[in-house]
A and B are shown apart, each in its own frame.
Chain A
């Protein structure tokens, strides 16, 4: 479905992305991971056509993104940016904005039906007429995802979707993305900071450092060596069922955090505190 091959981008003389390649199929979730400032958001902007890459190709179902018109690209790829200003617009109108690539003169009954479905799917029915500058952070994130659903694209890009959310809302958001991917058969690409959250919910992990791809694959690629190489940090990788859990050994300042953790909680217990099981379709956790 989505194929990125040798993607490169520079800001002036500074190379930000250099030869990034990965692919994602229908119903797959991809997480792009790496330290701050390695070009994750730039990669998203290139894929969405906001920035023009220097080289490489991005295709959706075999069609080059750069050959698509702006509206055609928006029908194929929905983007949920990291920060979205809260304007004085109702939840419904914000979600309806997802129909923009399809609207000619006026919204049709079909546009309203798709918007209402998206609002309802995200459990925003009661808030549909509330203004988005008066709802909570978690609800606002739901609005962004509902808008992306209303856009009816094949690929969905989410730039740090769990940014600024508490742990409950982080998991709720990721569960919504997972459900959306499985229900609608789309492919989701996310930039993430939390390796544990990413490995738990993603099918493909792409590690990036200094604009270059360090590793790409399933959650089995997560090793202490990889994390050390990408983030410069010593970690333990604990196997919790089939899901690897990262526990820091020391901070970047050299403080012995591992001992601190181990003094209080055994690593396996720590993992149990983080995840109690994979979410099922109803949002409850399987044990």
Chain B
């Protein structure tokens, strides 16, 4: 064991603090990027607005037309992109840690499949209605049905954990099984649905920011806020759990409680996002990986980083879905399709990068 002087360990601390500043700078840069992308998205579209007009309207709200365009027409989708992207990035990050599986994401537990089935059930069986102006006739019924079934899937997973054990493998296998069951049940509904009902079910399934409104935003916001506060409070536990259950236990973590509570909170937030916006794939998977590669696994920075990268991925996807593609092909597409189109190749690139790093 080396003898160490005060100067030696001061140098080590100084070096560490410098590295920490880099991580903080990354978070500040991502926050700035989210802000810039938000302004760019507000500016894009039919109405001609300068950035000065946008900022003036955001602060003063003195021009009714501009206020309507910014606040009622464009801002809800942008806020929804930021909130949903943050929620998916955040929950994906936590789930990858507590399940110690790089493939874990909000959709791993079958919650999205369950919510999609719930929505289909609400539309077809509970009379949620057929598609009209890119929404359903009775959105409340559909929303409640989607949320109830999302929470049913969480309940079944928790029951399976209680009956077996709380190991990451059990949780993931239970999630895969639940997802498969709800997916086949959803297929069953679609098979017997009329053409109009089928198109409504299929449209709902695609994650779309067009469902965003000032009514559902506060619900997503408070769910996200609650989850963030809880996850941030538990950041040291998640760091310890990344080093394995034995290490976490030795560092004073109540592994079973932390894993189960983390799953419940993640599932709840995911269920709310899927319920209001539909299935948005890959954001919860790739955002934590990008952050992990850039600033490491430390949850003290990774949580905020994953939320901001998730928001960025959603905003960029939204620009493609709502502005770039309409200009090219004449119609907008649901943002969920774009996140998968972007997410797939990005994830493959991460895997290749990871492989080359190990070699």
Residues of A within 8 A of B (CB): 45, 48-50, 69-75, 77-85, 87-90, 92-94, 97-98, 100-101, 103, 112-113, 115-117, 119-123, 125, 128-129, 131, 133, 151, 157, 159, 176, 179-180, 183
Contact = CB atoms under 8 A, between A and B. Distances in A.
Interface in B6-35: 8-13, 15-17, 19
Contacts of A159: 246
Nearest to B12: A116
Contacts of A88: 292-293, 296-297
Contacts of B1: 121-123, 176, 179-180, 183
Contacts, number: 133
Contact of B236 (A81, A100, A128): A100
Contacts of A83: 244, 246
B252 A100 contact: yes
A94 B251 contact: no
15 contacts: A48-B246, A48-B250, A50-B255, A77-B250, A83-B244, A83-B246, A87-B242, A89-B296, A100-B240, A115-B13, A120-B2, A120-B4, A121-B1, A121-B4, A151-B251
Contacts of B250: 48, 50, 74, 77-81, 157
A116 B9 contact: yes
Nearest to B10: A116
B16 A116 contact: yes
Contacts of A77: 250
A116 B13 contact: yes
Interface in B156-188: none
A201 to B, nearest CB: 14
Nearest to A82: B246
B243 A85 contact: yes
B249 interface: yes
A69 B2 CA distance: 33
A72 B251 CA distance: 10
A75 B19 CA distance: 28
A93 B254 CA distance: 21
A120 B9 contact: yes
B252 A120 contact: no
A48 B13 contact: no
A115 B8 CA distance: 12
Which 3 pairs from chain A and chain B are nearest by CB? A79-B250, A74-B252, A50-B249
A219 B275 CA distance: 66
A131 B251 contact: no
B217 interface: no
B211 interface: no
Nearest to A105: B233
A84 B247 CA distance: 7
B8 to A, nearest CB: 5
A119 B12 contact: yes
**Chief secondary structure at chain B's binding surface:** helix
B100 interface: yes
Given A89-B297, A90-B298, 12 more contacts: A49-B249, A50-B246, A50-B250, A83-B246, A93-B296, A100-B240, A100-B253, A101-B251, A113-B13, A116-B12, A121-B3, A131-B296
B306 to A, nearest CB: 14
B239 interface: yes
Given A122-B1, A180-B1, A81 B13 contact: no
Contacts of B243: 84-85, 87, 94, 97
A125 B9 CA distance: 8
Nearest to B250: A79
Contact of B252 (A71, A89, A92, A115): A71
A253 to B, nearest CB: 33
Contacts of A74: 250-252
A112 B252 contact: no
Given A81-B246, A84-B243, A85-B243, A100 B16 contact: no
A132 to B, nearest CB: 9
Contacts of A72: 252
A92 B18 CA distance: 12
A93 B295 CA distance: 12
Given A97-B243, A116-B9, A117-B9, A129 B16 contact: yes
A170 B169 CA distance: 33
Contacts of B298: 89-90, 93
Nearest to A98: B251
Contacts of B4: 117, 120-121, 125
A82 B100 CA distance: 17
A85 B249 CA distance: 14
Contacts of A48: 246, 249-250
Contact of A97 (B9, B19, B100, B251): B251
Given A81-B246, A87-B243, A129-B19, A120 B8 contact: yes
A100 B252 CA distance: 8
Given A74-B251, A116-B13, A89 B246 contact: no
B287 to A, nearest CB: 15
A212 to B, nearest CB: 24
Contact of B296 (A75, A79, A90, A115): A90
Nearest to A44: B246
Contacts of A101: 251-252
